[in-house]
Structure 1
Amino acid sequence: MDDSQLIKQILSGDTASYALLVRKYQDRLFNTLVHFLGSREDAEDIVQESFVQAYLKLATFQGNSLFYTWLYRIAFNVAVSHRRRRKPVYSVDLGREIAGCEPVDGGAGPEQRMQRHENVEQVRAALETLSEEHRSVLILRELEGLEYDQIAEVLNTPIGTVRSRLHRARAQLRDHLHNLIPEDQREMLP
């Protein structure tokens, strides 16, 4: 069943169908918010609050966009408000917590796996140095694979601004990593 059919059922009184929408998008939304917020606990809270707000506002969903685009917009608004209320905390331990278990490459030796893990940590740290606007555009494009028009809709920003921010975010990330990772190890970057 597609999203529009589920939404019609929910609005006609079948509120149990909302669980299908939640199951469909909760993991994807959580993963995006972990990268954006830098905290699994905060991401869990924001996902929950976003789904509650989306449910309460479902009657206002006009169907001009995809449901997940509309949901992401709600989630990013909630996340931005959350970040503004909180002072960010950065640490290596937090990076490890966010990362969870890293998949192990069976073909790589211990030194290569260790170096790759260090590079992943450096990429995460570099991502945290980006401004909120640049980080959100980069996450939505590179991690979520959204198209420019979808990102523009989620962030309520013109497409030209999305392109500009994405270009700047990539350049800032590249410059930051260039200073951290020796040239002979850059090919191992994720």
Structure 2
Amino acid sequence: MKENIISLDGKSDGFIIDDILQGNVAAYSLLVERYQSAVRAFLVIRLNTPHEAEDLAQETFIIAFKKIAEFNSESSFLAWLRGIAAYLLKNHQRKHRAVALGSADELEHLINQHIDENIHEGAELDMFDNLTICLEKLSEKMRNLLTEHYTLGVSLAELCRKYEDKHSTMTMRLFRIRQSLKTCIDKRIQQQR
């Protein structure tokens, strides 16, 4: 069923869209004004950060403007906008998803591979010393988390239950701790050269 919202200005969505298709590009601002709150709300409740929701909302309206000729006038314009926003959201979440390593064995393999490719003979002791110093700079909670997962082999599922976190939160936390260690070690190596 065609949704033909008529606002205080007396113009329906269909009328405004026809006006835009006839060349009155400025009329699009009426649709943006009419639906920006709904599109933002749709995105805000699905994202952690309001500025990301704002960016995606703006992108939604840009894409909708570019594809306005493809809009089916028998459909709801708001539903069409939400469809565009949902597509953008899905892509955004896919691109920004934390990549979790599968197991401690996989991590060990990657570390050993990196060492073999990048560390010259005799530098392993320096790397170990730097790792030890950088580990000491981490908070006790972060060190415990690393020990539990990588030394004791506590699974991500068990860590999530213990710390009452989502899987994605835990994998992101472990990723950030590893990045912090890498940054610290790299900085120390640069200072030693």
TM range (shorter): 0.3 to 0.5
- Structure having greater relative contact order (Cα 8 Å, sep ≥ 6): 1
Question: Whose radius of gyration is greater, 1 or 2?
Answer: 2
TM-score (norm 1): 0.46
Q: Using structure 2 for the length normalisation, give the TM-score.
A: 0.45
